[in-house]
């Protein structure tokens, strides 16, 4: 039977009132398994009001107590790891082991947030002037919001609310309407962990909910992760409404393969990073750039049998390398890109378009695809495909290989595979991309560093989590203090104070 999902507002499970719903599929069977409510403006306003009411007390809660809630939340998420991973896989389609990775990366941000008493400390200068001390403090902003994509329904909400709430803010999270069950459960677990009602609210919705968040004057800051055109809209609209905004967008992550690279290691890396989660990762490697034709030919020979041998299965099949993609519409979009690639002259070496999983013929499955001889003018190079499609482009030399990711509209991640330290070092310094891997295919920074791409992969100037995250979710106040000392009275001054 089709379930009806809810919102989580002010510490309570709340039914949707708008009368609008979004179909949530089981991508492995193609069936609608649930109806997600799409919040009307008033329902989002209820969540914002709950967050606003909860803010003064939460902001005044000392940082050690806030950290203890985070510790407890981490324990609860760990306790439920198996059931949460299964819930995530059934809505998203990624295999259970990968869902556990998604949740684990979120937990790691919560672990980082447990250090908030230290992270949120200000600075102090004794004797900044005669009898004057100067100190700064990082204060929470107030009501904050996060708008998240379908592809990491555990990690990305935790990137945002984990740090924001630890800093003393209260939060409204608007997860993707395609797989909202996991974020809804995280809301309940945060309450169980001891966060007061209203500190974390989860509202499921679409553009109407997003626009309410972007225009409501009570919301101080908005973090967004999703596709680039929407990210740009969020950034522009949020900023026009006076909010602090960070908006992460799409990607086209290149892997540069130098002639001296170990091609067995490279093919392991490319198969995992290109096809894991059916390529539905913003840090998936989708574009390989080989330096020299010989490298390309040798690599292609290794990759073809491995792409052909990929095991596609249901999200709960423990032996599957990857599962179905998220919706039938997304599947059609990916296959259309493959058709366009062929039409534009790329050579399709492995064709996974007609793959059907026996017994699951209506599931949103496709096999891995491998293209060679892709060129910079092709649509499949210029745009993000977000599916199990790996493309190879042949560059003549190192300079050309560095220029390709540097000039691309996206600048999320990039990797170089080489044994040459000098080439790797020069590449890391020169490439115009935000996150760089050296013989590491998916260089997602750990929680205590910061995640963020460049160019159309991120709008705004502050990254997710790490100390950048603490900066995004707090504002600095600087105090200059002098206590009465009658012996040092120096009369009125009409000149700007300096230290001359």
Binding mask 437-476 for ligand NAD (x = CB under 6 A): ----------------x---x-------------------
Considering the complex, state which of residue 3 and residue 207 has its C-beta at the smaller distance from ligand NAD.
207
The single-letter DSSP state of residue 341 is H
Question: Which residues make Cβ contacts (< 8 Å) with residue 191, sequence separation at least 6?
Answer: 11, 197, 200
Q: Which of 25, 150, 235, 398 binds ligand NAD (CB under 6 A)?
A: 150
User: Could you tell me which of 254, 259, 253 has the C-alpha nearest to residue 291?
Assistant: 259
277 is a site residue for ligand NAD (CB under 6 A): no
Contact range with ligand NAD by CB under 6 A, out of 28-36, 133-141, 206-214, 491-499: 206-214
N-to-C CA span, the chain:
77
Binding mask 109-148 for ligand NAD (x = CB under 6 A): --------------------------------------xx
Rounded CA separation 330/351 (Å): 17
102 is a site residue for ligand NAD (CB under 6 A): no
Least Å distance, CB 453 to ligand NAD, is 5
The runs of H, that is alpha helices, within 1-134 are 41-59, 63-79, 81-92, 96-113, 116-119
Least Å distance, CB 232 to ligand NAD, is 11
User: Could you tell me which of 231, 208, 88 has the C-alpha nearest to residue 150?
Assistant: 88
User: Could you tell me which of 387, 393, 368, 389 has the C-alpha nearest to residue 256?
Assistant: 393
177 is a site residue for ligand NAD (CB under 6 A): yes
Where residue 198 falls (left for φ over 0; alpha for ψ -120 to 50; beta otherwise) is left
Rounded CA separation 278/150 (Å): 13
Considering the complex, state which of residue 73 and residue 159 has its C-beta at the smaller distance from ligand NAD.
159
Least Å distance, CB 427 to ligand NAD, is 21
Burial of 49 from C-beta contacts in 10 A (0-12 / 13-18 / 19+): middle
237 is a site residue for ligand NAD (CB under 6 A): no
CB 127 within 8 A of CB 482: no
Q: Could you say which residues in the range 411-440 bind ligand NAD, by CB under 6 A?
A: 412
Binding mask 344-383 for ligand NAD (x = CB under 6 A): ----------------------------------------
Considering the complex, state which of residue 464 and residue 474 has its C-beta at the smaller distance from ligand NAD.
464
Note if 282 is an active site residue: yes
Query: What is the CB neighbour count within 10 angstroms for residue 397?
Result: 11
216 is a site residue for ligand NAD (CB under 6 A): no
23 is a site residue for ligand NAD (CB under 6 A): no
Q: Could you say which residues in the range 296-325 bind ligand NAD, by CB under 6 A?
A: none
Contact range with ligand NAD by CB under 6 A, out of 149-157, 285-293, 478-486, 489-497: 149-157
Q: β-strand 7-9 against 12-14: which pairing, if any?
A: antiparallel
250 is a site residue for ligand NAD (CB under 6 A): yes
Considering the complex, state which of residue 230 and residue 447 has its C-beta at the smaller distance from ligand NAD.
230
Which of 114, 144, 167, 282 is an active site residue? Answer: 282
227 is a site residue for ligand NAD (CB under 6 A): yes
Count CA atoms closer than 13 A to 339's CA, side-chain side: 7
Rounded CA separation 213/187 (Å): 18
Q: Which of 34, 87, 210, 278 binds ligand NAD (CB under 6 A)?
A: 210
User: Could you tell me which of 189, 181, 123 has the C-alpha nearest to residue 162?
Assistant: 189
Rounded CA separation 248/456 (Å): 8
Considering the complex, state which of residue 231 and residue 395 has its C-beta at the smaller distance from ligand NAD.
231
The contact set with ligand NAD (CB under 6 A) reads 147-152, 174, 176-177, 206-207, 210, 225-227, 230, 248-251, 282, 384, 386, 412, 453, 457
Residues involved in catalysis: 282
């Amino acid at each position: 039977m089709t379930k009806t999902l809810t919102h989580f507002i002010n510490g309570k499970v709340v039914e949707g009132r708008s009368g609008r719903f979004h179909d949530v599929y089981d991508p492995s069977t193609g069936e609608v398994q649930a109806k997600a409510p799409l919040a009307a403006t008033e329902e989002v306003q209820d969540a914002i009001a709950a967050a606003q009411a909860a803010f003064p007390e939460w902001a005044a809660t000392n940082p050690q107590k806030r950290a203890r809630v985070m510790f407890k939340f981490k324990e609860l998420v760990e306790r439920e790891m198996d059931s949460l991973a299964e819930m995530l896989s059934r809505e998203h389609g990624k295999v259970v082991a990968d869902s556990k990775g998604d949740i684990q990366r979120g937990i790691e941000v919560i672990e980082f947030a447990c250090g908030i008493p230290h992270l949120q400390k200000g600075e102090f200068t004794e004797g900044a002037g005669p009898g004057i001390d100067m100190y700064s403090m990082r204060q929470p902003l107030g009501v904050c919001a996060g708008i998240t994509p379908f592809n990491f329904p555990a990690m990305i909400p935790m990137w945002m609310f984990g740090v924001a709430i630890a800093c003393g803010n209260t939060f409204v999270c608007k997860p993707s309407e395609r797989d909202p069950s996991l974020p809804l459960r995280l809301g309940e677990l945060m309450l169980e962990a001891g966060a007061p009602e209203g500190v974390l609210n989860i509202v499921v919705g679409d553009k109407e909910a997003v626009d309410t968040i972007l225009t409501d004057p009570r919301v101080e800051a908005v973090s967004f992760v999703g596709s680039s055109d929407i990210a740009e809209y969020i950034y522009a609209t949020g900023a026009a409404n006076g909010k602090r905004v960070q908006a992460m967008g799409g990607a086209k992550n290149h892997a540069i393969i130098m002639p001296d690279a170990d091609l067995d290691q490279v093919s392991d890396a490319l198969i995992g990073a290109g096809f894991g989660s059916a390529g539905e990762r913003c840090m998936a490697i989708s574009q390989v750039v080989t330096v020299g034709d010989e490298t390309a030919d040798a690599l292609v020979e290794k990759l073809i049998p491995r792409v052909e041998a990929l095991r596609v299965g249901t999200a709960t099949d423990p032996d599957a390398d990857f599962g179905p993609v998220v919706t039938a519409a997304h599947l059609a979009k990916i296959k259309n890109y493959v058709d366009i690639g062929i039409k534009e002259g790329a050579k399709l070496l492995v064709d996974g378009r007609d793959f059907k999983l026996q017994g699951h013929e209506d599931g949103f499955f496709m096999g891995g695809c491998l293209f060679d001889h892709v060129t910079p003018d092709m649509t499949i190079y210029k745009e993000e495909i977000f599916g199990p499609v790996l493309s190879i482009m042949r560059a003549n030399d190192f300079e050309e290989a560095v220029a390709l990711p540097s000039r691309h509209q996206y600048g999320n991640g990039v990797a170089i595979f080489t044994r040459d330290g000098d080439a790797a070092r020069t590449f890391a310094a020169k490439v115009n991309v935000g996150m760089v891997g050296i013989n590491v295919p998916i260089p997602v920074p750990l929680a205590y560093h910061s995640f963020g791409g460049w160019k159309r992969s991120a709008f705004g100037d502050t990254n997710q989590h790490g100390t950048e995250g603490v900066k995004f979710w707090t504002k600095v106040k600087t105090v200059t203090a002098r206590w009465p000392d009658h012996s040092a009275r120096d009369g009125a001054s009409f000149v700007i104070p300096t230290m001359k």
